Amino acid sequence: MAKITLENLAHSYLPNPSAEDDFALKELNHDWADGEAYALLGSSGCGKSTLLNIISGLLIPSQGRVLFDGQDMTHAPTAERNIAQVFQFPVVYDTMTVRENLAFPLKNRRMPADEIARRVQKVGAMIGMEAELGRKARGLTADAKQKISLGRGMVREDVNALLFDEPLTVIDPHMKWELRTQLKKLHHDFGHTMIYVTHDQTEALTFADKVVVMYDGRVVQIGTPQELFERPAHTFVGYFIGSPGMNLFDAELAGTAATVDGARVELGRAYAARGRRVQLGVRPEFVRIGTGDAGIPARVRRVEDVGRHKIVRLEVAGREVSAIAGEGTRIPADANRITFDPEGINVYADDWRVAPEGEAA
């Protein structure tokens, strides 16, 4: 197990990158703490696999260094890194049995047969394939193959890190939950450094202690699920995490208040954002719907009942805004205003969160 340090790391797939846009991975400095379970979350194409492949050694970065416990591994071959990686598209040997597939990484390392048998049995149970260990992989369904691939990543106990690149894409939701639980158990039992790549926020938030959010080749925030919910560092995090995502309102700052569509919104604190595009970010959970003259003019377009609560879709200055209302909450027929719970307001300047004056970011 190891702490993994990324130092001034960046990667371009072009031979002579010049502009920042040429980089699939923009410059990044980060420590992956030894024994921590991370989720790497972001939409398709944002650079997640690129980052993972640099850590495992499938890709040599065009800039910067990769260190394992302080030792430079940037150019070390994959085998020397002692990392288990599971890919989005399962790599399964069709002519081998499930058992042989699972045993493969251990046989390669010349582990004694009884030890191999013990671990294969255990992992077979973890992926729910005990009954199929003797079957040939050929002819198994796509989700069975993905489980085998996952199991092969879990079978070694002596690795520096476990990297999972969207490993459960074709697995049904219930089984996904089950397998994630097994991965968490594995993490609990062995304390490997784990990085789990996904574009699914629920997967990320339920798997990891820390979520690393990527957007357009950049790490925009690293935080606990709670931090990502309460204090999104970038508007993308606010919008991408949450259901529905955070609402954004163009605003002007004046002292300790803001103006949104001509209405005054008290912030209680001053923010320094001169010369930049200012927006207020408010999650639907903190939007209140009311009547009268106080607040921002709004019109209710529709109400969606989603069981535990209602999602109210409103129109504010020609744009859709979402609010979450408790199951029993009545939406007034003449609702024409929205207001915000003050603790639920974040201020953004050019898409990055600004801390109130006198408070660390």
Interface with ligand ADP (CB under 6 A): 13, 24, 42, 44-50
42 binds, among ligand ADP, Mg ion, none (CB under 5 to 8 A by kind): ligand ADP
352 binds, among Mg ion, ligand ADP, none (CB under 5 to 8 A by kind): none
**CB-nearer residue toward ligand ADP: 34 or 216:** 216
DSSP string, 126-186: HTT-GGGTTSBSTT--HHHHHHHHHHHHHS-SS-SEEEEESTTTTS-HHHHHHHHHHHHHH
Residue 141, C-beta contacts closer than 8 angstroms, at least 6 positions apart: none
**CB-nearer residue toward ligand ADP: 197 or 345:** 197
**CB-nearer residue toward ligand ADP: 45 or 332:** 45
What is the number of other CB atoms lying within 10 angstroms of the CB of residue 245?
19
Shortest Cβ distance from residue 207 to ligand ADP (Å)? Answer: 17
Instruction: Give, in order, the Cα–Cα distances in Å from 359 to each of 270, 274, 321, 355.
Output: 10, 17, 29, 6
What is the number of other CB atoms lying within 10 angstroms of the CB of residue 142?
12
Shortest Cβ distance from residue 238 to Mg ion (Å)? Answer: 23
140 binds, among Mg ion, ligand ADP, none (CB under 5 to 8 A by kind): none
Tokens 């109400």 found at: 303
Shortest Cβ distance from residue 196 to ligand ADP (Å)? Answer: 13
Shortest Cβ distance from residue 200 to Mg ion (Å)? Answer: 13
Residue 49 near Mg ion by CB under 5 A = yes
**CB-nearer residue toward Mg ion: 49 or 146:** 49
Torsion region of 80: left, alpha or beta (phi above 0 gives left; psi -120 to 50 gives alpha) = alpha
Radius of gyration of the chain (CA): 24
10 binds, among ligand ADP, Mg ion, none (CB under 5 to 8 A by kind): none
Shortest Cβ distance from residue 47 to ligand ADP (Å)? Answer: 4
Residue 53 near Mg ion by CB under 5 A = no
Shortest Cβ distance from residue 197 to Mg ion (Å)? Answer: 7
44 binds, among ligand ADP, Mg ion, none (CB under 5 to 8 A by kind): ligand ADP
Shortest Cβ distance from residue 302 to ligand ADP (Å)? Answer: 33
Tokens 């796509």 found at: 142
Reference 251, options 280, 271, 229; nearest CA is 280
Q: Which residue is nearest to Mg ion (CB)?
A: 49
**CB-nearer residue toward ligand ADP: 57 or 284:** 57
Q: Which residues of 103-129 are buried (b: 16+ CB within 10 A; e: fewer)?
A: bbbbeeeebeeeebeebbeebbebbeb
Q: Can you give the binding site for Mg ion, defined by CB under 5 A?
A: 49
